[in-house]
Amino acid sequence: MKLTRIILKVIKYLFIAALIVFLALIIIVASSYKELKAAGENGLAGKVLLEEAATAIQNSNWDLALKSSDEAEVKINTALKNLNTIKNQPAFNKIPLLKNQVNDLEYLLKTADILSRSLSRAVPIAQKFNRLYSGKAGYNFSNLAPSEKADFFRLIYESEPELSGLQANLELAILNINRIHKIGVLWPVYNQISDIKQQLEQASNLISQATPILKVLPILAGYPSESNFLLIMHNNDELRPSGGFIGVFGLLKSLNGEIVSLKTYDSYHLDMPAVGIWKMIPPAQINKYMKVENWYLRDANWSPDWPTSAQKIEEIFVGESAAIGTTTPQLAGVIGITPKFVSDLLRLVGDITVRGETYTPENLQTLLQYNVEVAYKEQDISSWDRKQVINELLEELKTRLFALETKKLTSLLSVFASNAREKDIQIYFNNSNWQSLTAGLKADGSLKKTDKDYLMIVDANLGAFKSDSVVKKGIEYNLRTNKDKQAIGNLKLTYRHEGGFDWRTTRYRSYTRVYVPRGSKLISIKAFDKANMDEDSISAYDDTGLDKTVFGFFFSVEPGTSGGINLEYTLPTNISQSLNNKNYQLLVQKQAGRRTESFKAIIEGESYIQNFNEDIIISSPQP
C-alpha cells in the first residue's frame, strides 16, 4: 500500500510538472502570436500569388505571371522575416519541440521562396520563345523564317546558364522539403507537401534530361556556324561492336536550325570503287572469318567504344573518298543511330508511306530490309539504287519532325534522351569541348573507366546475315570468393537461335569479346550445348587504351538450336577486397544495338535480375 501511495504521488507531481510546461509553452507561443499570425498571412498570400503565376503561365499571360511571381517573392520574404523574429527569441532556440516546428515552417517558406525566384527567372525565357511562335499557324518550327530559326537557337544557347540555375534551385527546394518532419506543425498538410515534392522531382528530372540536349542542340543545328556530320546507320539485326553493320551512311549539313542537306548512300557505293586503290589492314578476325583483305567503311566500327569507332569510321571514310577522287566536307563529328531511334521518331510523328509501302514503328526494320534486299528485284530497281527508298523515308520524317507542334517538343526531347541512354544514338564531336557535352547527354557511347567490377559483352556478327533479329541472348554472371578470399567470376552466355536458313537468317557466327577489369586472368572457357567454338580463336589480352582486360573467341550456333559459352576468371585484388569488405559494386555496360533477353547477376549467392536496355550498376549488399 505504501508503494502504491508513493507511485500515485510521483504521477501527481509529474502531471503537475507537465501541466506547467504545457502552460509555459502556450504562454511562449502566445507571446509570439502576432509574428506567427503575420508569418502565416504573408505565407498564404505568397502561396495564392504563386498559384496565380502558374495559371498565368499556362494561359501565356506573361506580364501577369511575372508580376505575380515577383509579388509572391516579396510576401514570402516578409513571412521569413516574421519567422526569423520568432527564431531569435531564446525559447525558440533552446526548446527542441518549438525549435523543430519553427524550422519546419522555415523550410516550407524557403521552398516557396525558391519557387517564386525560379518563376521570375523562367518567365522571361518562356516569353522570348513564345514571341517567336506568336501568330504562327500550328505553332511549329517549320513555320519560322530562317532568321527566326537562328533566333530560336540563339535563345537556347543563351538560356543554358538560366536553366542550370533553375535546376540548382529545384534541387535546393527538394532538399528543404526533405528536412520537414512528418509529425509536427505541418502534419495536417504533409500529404500536399509530398505531392509538391513529387512534382518538383519530376520537373527537376525533366530539366536534368533536357539541359544536356539543349547544350548540344545548337551544335547539331549548325548554330552559330554551319555543321557537317557523317551519319552512320547501324543495322543491329547484323550486330557489330558499336551498333550494327554499316550498310548505309549519310551526310548531314545544318545551318541555323535548317537541315541544308541530308542524303544517304549505300556503303558499297564507297567501298566497291575503292577496291584495289584503298589499302588498310583490317582486324584479324574480319580478315579470317569474312575473307576480307582491306578495311572498308562497312566494317569500320570494330571497337565497342564509340569515340574510338567514330574516329576510325571518319578516317576510313575520308581515306576511301580521297582514294576514289571524291571530296569530303570538314566534319564536325560522327553520329551513329540504330533503327530503333527512327522507329521511336515514327511513333511520335506517325506512320509514313513511301512507294506504296507504309512504314510503322513495328515493321520499319524488317520491311526496309525486305525492300532493299529482295523486293527491289521484283520492282525493276537496280541493285545500285535499291537503298534510295531510305532517302525518301528520311525526307518525309524530317518534314514531319520540323512540323511538330511545340507541345510535342518535350516528347521529342524524351525520345532523344531515352535513345541516348540505350545507345541507339551515339554522338562523337571532333571538337573536344563539344565532345565533353555528350557524356552529360549519355550519348558518348564510351566504355567507362572504373576501379569497381566491370562487365561488357560485345558480339560481332561475321557473315550471319540478319540473324541477330532471331537470336535470343542471355547473360548470367556469378561472382564468389574461393578459400583464399579471391574473387572468381563465372560468366554464362546463352544464345537461342529461333530462325532458319533463308535470305535473312542463317547460322549465327560471332566473334565475341568480354570486357572485364584490367588484371583479370582467364581460368577456363568452353562451349556448351549446341554451340561450336573455334579453339584457335580464343585470346586474352589487355586493352590499355580502354583500361580493360579482354577475352575473345569465335563461335557459331545452328538455326533451331541453343548453346553458349561459359567463362571463368579471377578478378584483381581490389575487386576481391571490395567483395570481402561488403562495398562491392558492378558496372555492366550495354553494347550498342545488342538485344539481351535476360540478365542475371549472382553476387555471393544474392541474385539480381535486371532489365538490360541501358548501362546498369549493381551494389552488393544492397543499400
pLDDT tens digit sequence for 558-605: 999 999 999 999 999 999 999 999 999 999 999 999 999 999 999 999
Task: Return the pLDDT at 422.
Answer: 97
> What is the distance between the alpha carbons of residues 199 and 540, in angstroms, rounded to a whole number?
50
Task: Tell me the chain's radius of gyration from C-alpha atoms.
Answer: 31
Digit-coded pLDDT (tens) for 338-352: 999 999 999 999 999
What is the pLDDT at residue 185?
61
Please give the average per-residue pLDDT across 221-230, as a whole number.
Answer: 92
Range with lowest mean pLDDT among 154-168, 232-246, 491-505, 578-592: 154-168
**Structure confidence at residue 168 (pLDDT):** 85
HSE at residue 446, side-chain half, CA atoms within 13 A, is: 21
Mean pLDDT value across residues 410-417:
88
Q: How many CA atoms lie within 13 A of 301 on its CB side?
A: 41
pLDDT at 259 over 50: yes
Phi, psi torsion values for 205, nearest 5 degrees: -65, -40
Q: What pLDDT is attached to residue 561?
A: 98
- Tell me how far apart the alpha carbons of residues 257 and 154 are, in angstroms, rounded to a whole number: 10
72 pLDDT higher than 90:
no
pLDDT value at residue 49: 85
H/E/C letters for each residue in 564-583? Answer: EEEEEEECCHHHHHHHHCCC
Report how far residue 115's alpha carbon sits from residue 122's, in angstroms, rounded to the nearest whole number: 10
Looking at 32-145, list the stretches that DSSP marks H as alpha helix, in order from N- to C-terminal side: 33-58, 62-87, 90-94, 96-133
pLDDT of residue 66 exceeding 60, the answer is yes
Q: Tell me what pLDDT residue 265 has.
A: 96
Question: Residue 104, class by beta-carbon neighbours within 10 Å (0-12 exposed, 13-18 middle, 19+ buried)?
Answer: buried
Residue 622: what pLDDT?
64
CA separation for the pair 113, 70 (Å, rounded): 10
> Quick one: DSSP state of residue 231?
E
Phi/psi-derived region of residue 380, left when phi > 0, alpha when psi is between -120 and 50, beta in every other case: left
Question: Helix H segments across 355-501?
Answer: 364-370, 376-378, 388-402, 409-421, 432-441
Contacts of 321 (CB under 8 A, 6+ apart): 270, 327, 328
Q: Which residues pair with 259 in a beta bridge?
A: 254
DSSP assignment of 513-549 equals: EEEEETT-EEEEEEEEET-EEEEEEEEEEEETTTTEE
Name the DSSP letter for residue 612. Answer: -
What is the 3-state secondary structure of 29-55?
A: HHHCHHHHHHHHHHHHHHHHHHHHHHH
Averaged confidence pLDDT in the chain? 87
Angle at 307 between CA 306 and CA 309, to 5 degrees: 60
Distance in angstroms (rounded) separating the CA atoms of residues 582 and 577:
8
Based on the number of CB atoms within 10 Å of its own CB, is 382 exposed (0-12), middle (13-18) or buried (19 or more)?
exposed
Peptide bond into 621 cis (omega under 30): yes
User: In the predicted model, is pLDDT for residue 619 greater than 80?
Assistant: yes
Write the pLDDT tens digit of every residue in 81-134: 887 877 777 665 666 766 777 777 777 778 778 877 887 888 888 887 777 766
Kindly give the interhelix angle for 96-133 and 62-87, rounded to the nearest 10 degrees: 170
Question: Which amino acid, 180?
Answer: I
* Cis peptide upstream of residue 224 (ω within 30 degrees of 0): yes
Model-level pTM?
A: 0.84
Q: Nearest-CA neighbor of 339 among 306, 369, 312? A: 369
Query: What count of other Cβ atoms lies within 10 Å of the Cβ of residue 414?
Result: 16
The answer to whether residues 211 and 171 touch, using CB atoms and an 8 Å cutoff, is: no
Quote the cell numbers at residue 537.
580463336
Q: State residue 21's pLDDT score.
A: 41
Cell output for 72: 509572391
Q: How many CB atoms lie within 10 A of CB 413?
A: 16
369 and 395 Cβ atoms separated by less than 8 Å? no
Residue entry with cell 511575372: 66
Q: Kind and range of the H or E element at 492? A: strand 487-497
What are the backbone dihedrals phi and psi of residue 535, each rounded to the nearest 5 degrees, phi first? Answer: -60, -30
Q: Judge contact between 614 and 423, C-beta under 8 A.
A: yes
Please tell me the predicted confidence (pLDDT) of residue 214.
79
HSE (CB half, 13 Å, CA atoms) of 468? 24
Q: What is the pLDDT of residues 272-291, one digit of tens each?
A: 999 999 999 999 999 999 99
Confidence of residue 184 (pLDDT cuts 50, 70, 90): low
Angle at 251 between CA 250 and CA 257, to 5 degrees: 120
- CA–CA separation, 140 and 623 (whole Å): 46
Task: Indicate if the pLDDT at residue 301 is higher than 60.
Answer: yes
Spatial separation of the C-alpha atoms in residues 559 and 500, rounded to whole Å: 5
- Read off the pLDDT band of 22 (50, 70, 90): very low
Mean pLDDT over 33-44 rounds to 72
Give the dihedral sign, CA 58/63/64/68.
positive
Comparing 70-79, 186-195, 368-377, 482-491, the range with the smallest average pLDDT is 186-195
How far, in Å, CA of 335 to CA of 428, rounded? Answer: 6
Contact 586, 455 (CB under 8 A): yes
Half-sphere exposure of 454 (CA within 13 A, CB side): 22
DSSP 8-state secondary structure symbol assigned to residue 557: E
Half-sphere exposure of 91 (CA within 13 A, CB side): 12
What is the distance between the alpha carbons of residues 74 and 85, in angstroms, rounded to a whole number?
17
**Out of 10-24, 28-42, 158-172, least confident range:** 10-24
Specify the range with the lowest mean pLDDT, choosing from 102-106, 304-308, 381-385, 467-471: 102-106
458-499 residue pLDDT tens: 999 999 999 999 999 999 999 999 999 999 999 999 999 999
pLDDT for 263 = 95
Which has the closest alpha carbon to 277: 296, 255, 301?
296
What's the pLDDT at 15?
46
Residue 28 has a pLDDT of 44
Give me the pLDDT at residue 267, please: 97
